Amino acid sequence: MSTADQPLIRLDGVTKVFYTDEVETHALSGIHMEIKKGEYVSIAGPSGCGKSTLLSILGLLDSPSDGNYWLDGKPVADLRLSERARIRNREVGFIFQSFNLIGDLSVYENVELPLTYRGMKSAERKKRVHEALEKVGMAHRAKHLPSQLSGGQQQRVAVARAVAGEPLILLADEPTGNLDSTNGEAVMDLMRDLHAQGATICMVTHDPRYARHADRQIHLFDGRVVEEEDMPKAEEELKESGFEMG
């Protein structure tokens, strides 16, 4: 397989088992999955089906019990902890349901912090932070604290923090979960705009309204992929329902 053809993410037979008080919980069972560069994939399914566990493995926050995972053509199983941390910081952008902003840092400082960990020069950090905040429409709030923002605004800042590092892939775990429907749709608009600009996105959601925004849906049930569905008509369907595209 040539470099151009290889998927950005490839899982082969990935299984995850948790052991608690002599009880085995099979969170994931034999997951086979590929995500190509520039694709927008949603992982859907009921609560407890393994969606967040799968996202944790994709983001190198956890490791599979069995199976293989390749990120950008490289196997991740034998990576040292320091190398995993470096990849999380440079190649993966995380967007969480609970925003995970640091309360006593300004909007600007929250977006800048992961870049500081890289040892990036000040001028480059400033440029990246400004561009990311402009992209999400929050540049005018750069000096505010998270507590001075609405939930929707906080999630926009969280998205800016994720994209400022120019990662290979954005991993979004229920990014609209703590938002009302208006702010939820606004964040989904933002995700779609980022995808249109070339971002690769993998989003976990239990809400079918948001899952349909993706190019492809992967449905999980009891830790297994039970269906994969391409969404070539999603844009047309949204237009027909009266939803204006950005």
C-alpha 69/C-alpha 74 separation (Å) is: 8
Residue 36's closest CA among 13, 7, 64? 7
pLDDT band for 232, please (50, 70, 90 cuts).
low
What value does the mean pLDDT of the chain take? 89
Strands 9-20 and 23-35: antiparallel
Predicted confidence at residue 2, as pLDDT, reads 47
Residue 48's CATH number: 3.40.50.300
What does the pLDDT look like over 78-113, one tens digit per residue? Answer: 889 999 999 998 999 999 989 999 999 999 999 999
Residue 75, domain member (yes or no): yes
Distance separating the N- and C-terminal Cα atoms of the chain: 36
Predicted confidence at residue 103, as pLDDT, reads 95
Total tally of structural domains belonging to the chain? 1
Residue 1, domain member (yes or no): no
- Sequence-ordered alpha helix ranges (H) in the chain: 51-58, 81-91, 107-117, 122-135, 151-164, 181-196, 208-211, 234-240
Q: In what order do the strands lie in the sheet with 224-230?
A: 92-95, 169-173, 201-205, 40-44, 216-221, 224-230
The DSSP symbol for 32 reads E
What does the pLDDT look like over 138-197, one tens digit per residue? Answer: 999 999 999 999 999 999 999 999 999 999 999 999 999 899 989 999 999 999 999 999
173 forms bridges with which residues in the sheet?
A: 204
Domain carrying residue 219: 9-240
Residue 73, domain member (yes or no): yes
Predicted confidence at residue 209, as pLDDT, reads 85
Phi, psi of 59, rounded to the nearest 5 degrees: -90, 10
pLDDT band for 54, please (50, 70, 90 cuts).
very high
Predicted confidence at residue 127, as pLDDT, reads 96
Residue 201, domain member (yes or no): yes
Query: Within 10 A of 128 (CB to CB), how many other CB atoms are there?
Result: 20
What is the rounded average pLDDT of the residues 217-243? Answer: 73
pLDDT band for 4, please (50, 70, 90 cuts).
low
pLDDT band for 243, please (50, 70, 90 cuts).
very low
Residue 3, domain member (yes or no): no
Using an 8 Å Cβ cutoff, are 100 and 61 in contact?
no
Residue 246, domain member (yes or no): no
Worst-scoring range by mean pLDDT, 44-48, 63-67, 233-237?
A: 233-237
Residue 96, domain member (yes or no): yes
What is the rounded average pLDDT of the residues 10-38? Answer: 93
pLDDT band for 234, please (50, 70, 90 cuts).
very low
Residue 4, domain member (yes or no): no
The DSSP symbol for 218 reads E
